[in-house]
């Protein structure tokens, strides 16, 4: 689908904030980063947090503000999970560090994405490289989980924790794009996008663009279509039916949902998992249900028959409901 859209027409790029001030949310991180820009100096940084929350965006914005017109020559983006290995990554770093920073800057910035994809041995090698070039290069490491980064690296970096973008902030950002691009979208569909994104701005913006390319007027059905998720109300309805003891009804709903939305067993189990919080059952029962769902998800991933596994989960809900509901 992206094949036909020129790069500058991809909305996540077109609307990527160009300055730190334009970054939405992450105020805590942004304020500290601005202080680095002002002092024109920074330590190595570690950005951790979920996808689509602004880690790459903040790095780019920072480099632009720190280096001005020369920023491109002083900034390099690498992916740690480069399939050719850590030696290739180190080779590129060495090459980049060989020449002096442009425009009188004191150092260059190397942005390394997916640092948590490296093995601990590779991270140890990276750490040595960081030390070796630290006079001329500052590193920004980006990862989803800081727990996967070895201590010697963590202790040499200032750590920034990026939060999922708040619903209000996602909505606000989408509204700007909707206005700028003249998108015709129902109020409810905007809420749907905000809900599905779960704090991932990239996902929200991408879904909006795909939806806009499909229909002239975007409604809830368009949203379900593009986001590969079922209507949460229908999923909740199915679970409640099972809790009320109606196994056959719940199984019919399951069929309907899987066929209508073209979902796999894994898709649906993930969605069932997020619906538990909305069910009116005790916390202790939610815990039991989580445990059971984890087991079933594992079996499906391992290749067990997904129909049988999903029906087993509904049966479990029926048994659970029999004990606690009415
Ligand atoms: N905090 C944010 N404020 C505004 N836009 C954002 C923010 N986070 C992500 N985005 C949008 O999502 C896209 C991906 O963001 P990016 O910074 O690459 O995320 P990641 O945290 O995965 O590195 C950006 O191009 C931008 O359009
Ligand atoms: Mg990124």
**In angstroms, rounded to a whole number, what is the distance separating the alpha carbons of residues 254 and 239?**
9
Which-ligand-closest: CA of 201?
1
How high is the pLDDT of residue 75?
96
Element of type H or E holding 97: helix 86-98
How high is the pLDDT of residue 167?
96
**In angstroms, rounded to a whole number, what is the distance separating the alpha carbons of residues 214 and 225?**
10
Pocket of ligand 1 (CB under 6 A): 12-13, 15-17, 23-26, 51-57, 165, 173, 201-202, 205
| CATH number of this structure's domain 167-227, picked from the four choices 1.10.8.60, 3.40.1280.10, 3.30.160.150, 3.30.70.1710 | 1.10.8.60
How high is the pLDDT of residue 87?
84
Mutate to test the pocket of ligand 1, among 166, 201, 204, 208 (most ligand atoms within 8 A of CB): 201
Distance of CA 102 to the CA centre of its chain: 34
Mutate to test the pocket of ligand 1, among 2, 14, 16, 176 (most ligand atoms within 8 A of CB): 16
**In angstroms, rounded to a whole number, what is the distance separating the alpha carbons of residues 166 and 162?**
11
Which of ligand 1's atoms lies nearest the C-alpha of 15? 27
Q: Where are the domains of the chain?
A: 26-161, 167-227, 232-324
List per-residue pLDDT tens for the chain, 326 residues long: 555 666 668 999 999 999 999 999 999 999 999 999 999 999 999 999 999 999 999 999 999 999 999 899 999 999 888 777 888 888 999 899 888 899 888 999 999 999 999 989 999 999 999 999 999 999 999 999 999 999 999 999 999 999 999 999 999 999 999 999 999 999 999 999 998 898 999 999 999 999 999 888 999 989 988 887 888 888 999 999 999 999 999 999 999 998 887 888 888 998 898 888 888 888 899 999 999 999 999 999 999 999 999 999 999 999 988 855 54
Element of type H or E holding 158: strand 157-161
CATH T-level fold of 232-324: Zinc Finger, Delta Prime; domain 3 (1.20.272)
326: helix, strand or coil = coil
Which of ligand 1's atoms lies nearest the C-alpha of 59? 17
Tell if the pTM clears 0.85, that is, is over it: no
How high is the pLDDT of residue 325?
52
CATH T-level fold of 26-161: Rossmann fold (3.40.50)
> Going by CA atoms, what residue is nearest to atom 18 of ligand 1?
56
């Amino acid at each position: 689908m992206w094949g036909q859209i020129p790069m500058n027409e991809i909305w996540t790029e077109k609307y990527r904030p160009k300055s730190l001030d334009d970054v939405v949310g992450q105020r805590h991180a942004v304020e500290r980063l601005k202080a680095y820009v002002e002092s024109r100096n920074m330590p190595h940084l570690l950005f951790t947090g979920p996808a689509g929350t602004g880690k790459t965006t903040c790095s780019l914005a920072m480099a632009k503000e720190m280096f001005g017109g020369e920023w491109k020559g002083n900034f390099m983006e690498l992916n740690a999970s480069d399939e050719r290995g850590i030696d290739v990554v180190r080779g590129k770093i060495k090459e980049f560090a060989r020449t002096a920073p442009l425009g009188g800057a004191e150092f260059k910035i190397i942005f390394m994405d997916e640092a948590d994809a490296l093995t601990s041995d590779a991270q140890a090698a990276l750490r040595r490289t960081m030390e070796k070039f630290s006079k001329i290069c500052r590193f920004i490491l980006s990862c989803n989980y800081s727990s996967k980064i070895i201590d010697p690296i963590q202790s040499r970096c200032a750590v920034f924790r990026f939060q999922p973008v708040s619903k209000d902030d996602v909505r606000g950002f989408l509204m700007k794009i909707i206005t700028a691009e003249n998108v015709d979208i129902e109020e409810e569909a905007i809420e749907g996008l905000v809900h599905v994104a779960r704090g991932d701005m990239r996902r929200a913006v991408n879904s909006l663009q795909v939806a806009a390319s499909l229909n002239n007027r975007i409604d809830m059905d368009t949203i379900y279509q593009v986001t590969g998720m079922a209507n949460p109300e229908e999923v909740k309805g199915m679970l409640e039916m099972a809790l009320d003891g109606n196994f056959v009804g719940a199984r019919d709903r399951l069929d309907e949902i899987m066929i209508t939305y073209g979902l796999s067993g894994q898709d649906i189990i993930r969605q069932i998992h997020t619906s538990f919080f909305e069910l009116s059952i005790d916390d202790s029962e939610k815990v039991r249900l989580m445990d059971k769902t984890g087991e079933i998800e594992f079996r499906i991933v391992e290749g067990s028959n997904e129909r049988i596994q999903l029906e087993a989960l509904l049966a479990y809900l029926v048994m659970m409901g029999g004990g606690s509901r009415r």
